[in-house]
Amino acid sequence: MIYREATVADITQISVVRLAVKENVLSNRALVTNEDYINYLTINGKGWVCETNGQIAGFAIADLPGHNVWALFIDPEFAGQGIGKHLHNMMLDWYFKQTDHTIWLGTGFNTKAETFYRMQGWAEAGLNGTKETRFEMTAGKWHAKK
């Protein structure tokens, strides 16, 4: 497996992974456009992918101005192999080198993702809308974890 920075050329495969997930499924595919991916990969943040045999198995994207995790998704065929944790750590290492601002994310209730973030040390911080739990990670907590 190769972990590397995501590029605009990866968007087609990243989108395939995003649409393949079984949890936190997009209610409307039009909600996330190629322009959104381009913006988050080149202007508002940075992304990383895990690639195996030319196929993207998972990806993570941080939104620096929004101080949030815009995306962290693993193709279900590659679940349980540590890909999410590796991408998560790469993303947060980069994010906290850019800023000390607390980062947040939202994820569906009672999902594997919710459990994953708790296991990575994220603190529950209420709701994100009406259908998601909001989690936060401080720079101090992240640096202490390392």
Q: How many domains does the chain have?
A: 1
pLDDT in tens, 70-101: 999 999 999 999 999 999 999 999 999 999 99
Distance of CA 78 to the CA centre of its chain: 15
pLDDT in tens, 16-72: 999 888 777 666 667 788 899 999 999 999 999 999 999 999 999 999 999 999 999
Q: What is the pTM of this model?
A: 0.93
Q: What is the CATH number of the domain that holds 107?
A: 3.40.630.30
Taking the C-alpha atoms of residue 55 and residue 128, their distance in angstroms, rounded to an integer, is 32
From residue 94, give the alpha-carbon distance in Å to each of 24, 29, 98, 120: 24, 29, 7, 16
Range of the domain at 140: 2-145
